A and B are shown apart, each in its own frame.
Chain A
């Protein structure tokens, strides 16, 4: 009898099979905060890379993270994206999604995109294929084997190609792009997946002044609809895009505020210029 019920359940015509459902849980941003990082501690062989770090990022914000080399910026991104597990602390995406319980792939599927410090694209693939692989889709073996490019996907890729300015290079091998173009392609790969939160590690390293300017425009235009966290050394660049700046120092937050507030903060001045307060 139960078999019959099972069969009926499977054959129901008023809903799709569960494996076809879009299983992605929604991010709950009812309190306007999309990322909660609380009390993070992480040490590598006794060296404290993250030290009781707290960070809250609002939905739709463009946040800049600055800090000297080794301050723990990349390590923080590693923790948020599931690459590294912290010794203690919590990381929540919205109100309810505990990121520490997910692996890299799951976190990416939840809508968190990450650009590496060193531009990383699939060099043997064309620009187009790089974007095709990055599309928001079911990223398991069987669906990928059977997937065909749909018109919607094609439109989405074209749209992103326009945004990152690589329309002419769409069939060029990614490995043959210039350094700056690779940086953009990587950003494009994040965008095409329509993420909620973008973590961008040093996007303008190695870019020309003109490319830097265009990147600044691009990142500012993304904020609002998406939340963007940018790590950058280039202070001029930070000044041109940032509304809120967080200063990291020795694995902990040293100061937070507008660029002017941060630059006049005595702690920051001390750390950066070595002046006594």
Chain B
């Protein structure tokens, strides 16, 4: 009996495998719909749709990054847009260098905006960015190191709660101001754009678009599975323990700040990768991505989907962004109000988000078919009240 219960405890309620299966299936169908179907077929998926889906998946990856630290460790970062944007800029720099002499000024070495600023040579931090592997390394290293330094300083000084959230917000705001400056060497206000190709493939080609979309879906699946594994490990249990009782965790011998730093770095890496996949698909990266508002929006995606569930974060990001696309087409100025209203609604009526609602409905259905309380109700009932915690 105990063995059985143990088994179900370990393998029972994970919906990661079916979710990944659905993700892969939808990706395959959409890709084939674009590449193999004639334009007038009902199964044809336009390239515009493919790119839009790819963009949504990048947001989903970003939401996953936020959920890993907020949902599981109670660290409410309001600056994750910074890691996303830095990953995006690293990719953008590579894409800029790929333009070569096809720019407006035809300079083989310098991107257009540098020629425009009368710069004569490439700044040191642009060196090496023409190599794909080096740029990809930077996609990971830059957000990773920033997260490590920030996390190390903040968590070691035991900054938590609202103070930490404000600090993350200040971080992304400061970076936004810096990147707006032309002298920074990242294209200022306009950012980086007019990309031509990526590792030799034309960015406008359908096949490239589909490939980028498929890679994004695959990366999302891999990151979801890896994150799930990490959070199920004993380290993951420590993370949740820190969320629910940090000082208790300290007094049983855990240096909680180290766990928090590494989780923060892991989360920043995911955000960086999401940014890097986002830029070639939308074709531009500018300082607007650092905007504090963006970072707040991510948190709302996670809250809508249900924090501390991973899948909820993905679902929330997809749904809210789909709604945003539809909404802004009708009422471009109303979106922020709608978003605010959504957040208030979710906070008041769906504190566990859509995943919590789904779970409640499943439990109810199980109870009515079971005919009331079985022995396992004792085990499953309190779960609803779990995953509270969090700093705010």
Q: Which A residues are closer than 8 A to B by beta carbons?
A: 81, 83, 103-105, 108-109, 113-114, 116, 120-126, 129, 132-134, 139-141, 144-147, 170-173, 175-176, 189-190, 193
Q: Which residue of A lies closest to B258 (CB)?
A: A141
- Sample 16 A-B pairs with CB under 8 A, ordered by A number: A104-B247, A104-B251, A105-B250, A114-B251, A121-B248, A123-B244, A124-B387, A126-B9, A141-B235, A141-B262, A147-B235, A170-B2, A171-B5, A173-B382, A176-B382, A193-B252
Determine whether B119 belongs to the interface, using a CB cutoff of 8 Å to chain A. no
| A145 to B139 alpha-carbon distance, docked (Å) | 25
Determine whether B233 belongs to the interface, using a CB cutoff of 8 Å to chain A. yes
B262 to chain A, nearest CB (A): 5
Those of B213-270 within 8 Å (CB) of chain A: 230, 233-235, 237-238, 240-241, 243-245, 247-256, 258-259, 262
Residues of B within 8 A of A114 (CB): 251
A158 to chain B, nearest CB (A): 10
Residues of A within 8 A of B9 (CB): 126, 171
| A189 to B254 alpha-carbon distance, docked (Å) | 13
Q: Are B233 and A122 in contact, CB atoms less than 8 angstroms apart?
A: no
Q: Are A120 and B237 in contact, CB atoms less than 8 angstroms apart?
A: no
| A193 to B262 alpha-carbon distance, docked (Å) | 25
Q: Which B residues are closer than 8 A to A by beta carbons?
A: 2, 5-6, 9, 230, 233-235, 237-238, 240-241, 243-245, 247-256, 258-259, 262, 378-379, 381-383, 385-389
| A105 to B244 alpha-carbon distance, docked (Å) | 17
Q: Are A144 and B238 in contact, CB atoms less than 8 angstroms apart?
A: yes
Q: Most B CB atoms within 10 A — which of A113, A133, A140, A146?
A: A133
Q: Which 5 A-B pairs have the closest CB atoms?
A: A108-B253, A176-B382, A144-B235, A173-B382, A145-B235
16 further contact pairs, Cβ within 8 A, besides A83-B247, A103-B255, A170-B2: A105-B256, A108-B251, A113-B251, A113-B252, A124-B243, A125-B237, A132-B237, A145-B230, A145-B233, A145-B234, A147-B234, A147-B235, A171-B5, A172-B382, A173-B382, A190-B252
Q: Are B233 and A109 in contact, CB atoms less than 8 angstroms apart?
A: no
Residues of A within 8 A of B255 (CB): 103, 105, 139-140
| A263 to B389 alpha-carbon distance, docked (Å) | 45
Q: Which residue of B lies closest to A158 (CB)?
A: B2
Residues of B within 8 A of A134 (CB): 252
Residues of B within 8 A of A171 (CB): 5-6, 9, 379
Residues of A within 8 A of B248 (CB): 116, 120-122
| A225 to B288 alpha-carbon distance, docked (Å) | 64
Residues of A within 8 A of B247 (CB): 83, 104, 116, 120
Q: Are B250 and A133 in contact, CB atoms less than 8 angstroms apart?
A: no
| A175 to B240 alpha-carbon distance, docked (Å) | 13
Q: Are B245 and A121 in contact, CB atoms less than 8 angstroms apart?
A: yes
Q: Which residue of B lies closest to A176 (CB)?
A: B382
| A146 to B233 alpha-carbon distance, docked (Å) | 7
Residues of A within 8 A of B241 (CB): 122, 125, 133
Q: Are B240 and A122 in contact, CB atoms less than 8 angstroms apart?
A: yes
| A189 to B241 alpha-carbon distance, docked (Å) | 13
| A146 to B237 alpha-carbon distance, docked (Å) | 12
Residues of B within 8 A of A145 (CB): 230, 233-235
Q: Which residue of A lies closest to B376 (CB)?
A: A171
Q: Are B383 and A173 in contact, CB atoms less than 8 angstroms apart?
A: yes
Q: Are A104 and B250 in contact, CB atoms less than 8 angstroms apart?
A: yes
Q: Are A175 and B386 in contact, CB atoms less than 8 angstroms apart?
A: yes
Residues of B within 8 A of A144 (CB): 233-235, 238, 259
Q: Most A CB atoms within 10 A — which of B234, B237, B254?
A: B234
| A189 to B389 alpha-carbon distance, docked (Å) | 21
Q: Most A CB atoms within 10 A — which of B2, B255, B256, B383?
A: B255
Q: Which residue of A lies closest to B263 (CB)?
A: A141
| A190 to B253 alpha-carbon distance, docked (Å) | 11
Using A108-B250, A140-B258, A171-B9 as known contacts, say yes or no to A133 and B385 having CB atoms under 8 A apart. Answer: no
Q: Which residue of A lies closest to B378 (CB)?
A: A172
Using A104-B251, A171-B6, A175-B382 as known contacts, say yes or no to A125 and B258 having CB atoms under 8 A apart. Answer: no
Q: Which residue of B lies closest to A134 (CB)?
A: B252
| A176 to B251 alpha-carbon distance, docked (Å) | 22
Residues of B within 8 A of A175 (CB): 382, 385-386
Q: Are B250 and A122 in contact, CB atoms less than 8 angstroms apart?
A: no
Residues of B within 8 A of A170 (CB): 2
A82 to chain B, nearest CB (A): 9
Q: Most A CB atoms within 10 A — which of B247, B248, B378, B381?
A: B248
Q: Are B240 and A125 in contact, CB atoms less than 8 angstroms apart?
A: yes
